[in-house]
């Protein structure tokens, strides 16, 4: 059974409550009373932390309500109660954290980066006076931890994206450029969800993302809603079609689809590729003819990639 790809989840987080302070005293042999109740422990915090081994948010699909541990109550001999254990939620690199209203709180783009999502409550005080001259001692209850509804939105942190029609060789290209071995079949829509792998040219590593193919209207609408957002971080978009698609005007349809989702995506470097030119290809100055079987056009695409990546120092 194929694993579900999850790139967005809504969570309810509840940090731990602070422990209650303790009100206790005992009588000394002298007849005096000694107040020795301790304060409560702090409630556990909730952190969202990057785990580079994760590739989506499916681990949170059935864990929508998450709570940290509460602090322990104060103890005798003025001992503070145990602090509540922090809860760490692990997410993939590239996860954005938003409020329910859409406000961006954090964009996790560094390995090991952590975000304090909900703060635990303070522990209550044990055996304290409200006023200096008070004879009677009191205690206070621990504070409640923060409660938040958050949306985790995973956006694949790739430098290159492959977009195109079905059976145009995107998966074959991905397997050639990276060490990833995606499923490759002659029937349409083999790729069901975004895939990415790490490529290397010289001493530079970069991530290459393949989006599922664009086909009939039903699937195209799904692409628009769920997958085109993953183009946000890329620097290069490679558009694919093959010689069986006929007119090169099909590239216009791809541009239109991308622009309808976010017009700013067209400001990225776009490389047009016509694959499988073994079948026949009419040269076009705007498109690169590619034949992986005969290794034609490959070097030109690599030169284009190197040229763009060289302009971005973060690579």
Q: Is 196 in contact with 161 (CB distance < 8 Å)?
A: no
Domain at 94, CATH number: 2.70.210.12
What is the per-residue pLDDT for 311?
47
- The per-residue pLDDT for range 197-254, each reduced to its tens digit, is 888 887 778 899 998 877 645 445 555 567 889 999 999 999 988 766 555 677 888 8
Same domain, residue pair 13 and 149: yes
Same domain, residue pair 125 and 196: no
Average pLDDT of 280-289? Answer: 68
DSSP of the chain: -PPPP--EEEEEEEPPPPPPP---EEE-TTS-EEE-PPPPPPPPPEEEEE-TT--SSGGGTT--EEEPPPPPPPBTTTBPPPPPPPEEEEE-TTEEEEETTS-EEEEE-STT-EEEEEPPPPPPP-SB-SSTT--S-B--PPPPPPEEEEEEEE----SEEEEEBTTSSHHHHHHHHBS------SSS----S-EEEEEEETTEEEEEEEPPPB-SHHHHHHIIIIIGGGGTT-SEEEEEEEGGG--TTHHHHHHHHHHHH-GGGGGSEEEEEEE-GGG-----TTEEEEBTTTTBSHHHHHHHHHHHHTT-TT-
Q: Among 129, 154, 179, where does a domain finish?
A: 154
Domain at 294, CATH number: 3.40.50.300
Cα separation of 124 and 127, whole Å? Answer: 10
Query: Tokens standing for 262?
Result: 């976010």
Q: Which domain holds residue 60?
A: 8-154
Same domain, residue pair 16 and 126: yes
Cα separation of 314 and 206, whole Å? Answer: 10
Cα 261 to its chain centre, rounded Å, is 20
Residue with tokens 């001692």: 137
Same domain, residue pair 59 and 179: no
Cα separation of 151 and 117, whole Å? Answer: 11
- The per-residue pLDDT for range 67-88, each reduced to its tens digit, is 999 999 888 888 889 999 999 9
Same domain, residue pair 302 and 173: yes
Same domain, residue pair 164 and 188: yes
Closest-CA residue to 272 (of 254, 286, 291): 286
pLDDT at 313 over 60: no
Q: How many domains does the chain have?
A: 2
* Residue predicted with more confidence, 278 or 206: 206
What is the per-residue pLDDT for 244?
63
What is the per-residue pLDDT for 126?
83
Report yes or no on 2 lying in a domain: no
Cα separation of 118 and 48, whole Å? Answer: 9
Report yes or no on 3 lying in a domain: no
């Amino acid at each position: 059974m194929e694993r579900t790809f999850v790139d967005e989840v809504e969570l309810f987080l509840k940090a731990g409550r602070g422990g209650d302070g303790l009100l206790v005293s005992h009588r000394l042999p002298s007849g005096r009373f000694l107040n020795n109740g301790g304060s409560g422990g702090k409630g556990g915090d909730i952190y969202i932390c990057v785990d580079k081994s994760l590739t989506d948010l499916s681990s949170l699909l059935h864990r929508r309500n998450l709570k940290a541990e509460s602090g322990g109550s104060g103890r005798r001999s003025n001992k503070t109660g145990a602090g509540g254990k922090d809860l760490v939620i692990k997410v993939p690199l590239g996860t954005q954290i938003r409020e329910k209203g859409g406000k961006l709180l954090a964009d996790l783009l560094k390995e090991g980066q952590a975000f304090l999502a909900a703060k635990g409550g303070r522990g209550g005080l044990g055996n304290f006076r409200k006023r200096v001259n008070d004879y009677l001692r009191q205690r206070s209850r621990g504070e409640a931890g923060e409660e938040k509804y958050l949306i985790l939105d995973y956006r694949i942190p790739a430098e290159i994206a492959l977009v195109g029609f079905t059976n145009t060789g995107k998966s074959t290209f991905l397997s050639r450029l990276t060490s990833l071995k995606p499923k490759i079949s002659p029937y349409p829509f083999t790729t069901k969800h975004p895939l990415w792998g790490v490529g290397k040219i010289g001493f530079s590593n970069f991530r290459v993302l393949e989006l599922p193919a664009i086909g009939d209207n039903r699937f195209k609408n799904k692409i628009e809603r769920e997958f085109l957002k993953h183009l946000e971080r890329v620097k290069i978009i490679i558009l694919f079609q093959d010689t069986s698609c006929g007119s090169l005007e099909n590239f216009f349809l791809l541009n239109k689809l991308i622009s309808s989702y976010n017009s700013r995506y067209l400001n990225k470097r776009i490389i047009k590729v016509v694959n499988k030119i073994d079948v026949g290809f009419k040269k076009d100055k705007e498109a690169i003819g590619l034949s992986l079987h005969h290794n034609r056009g490959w070097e030109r695409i690599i030169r284009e990639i190197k040229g763009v990546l060289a302009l971005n120092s973060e690579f």
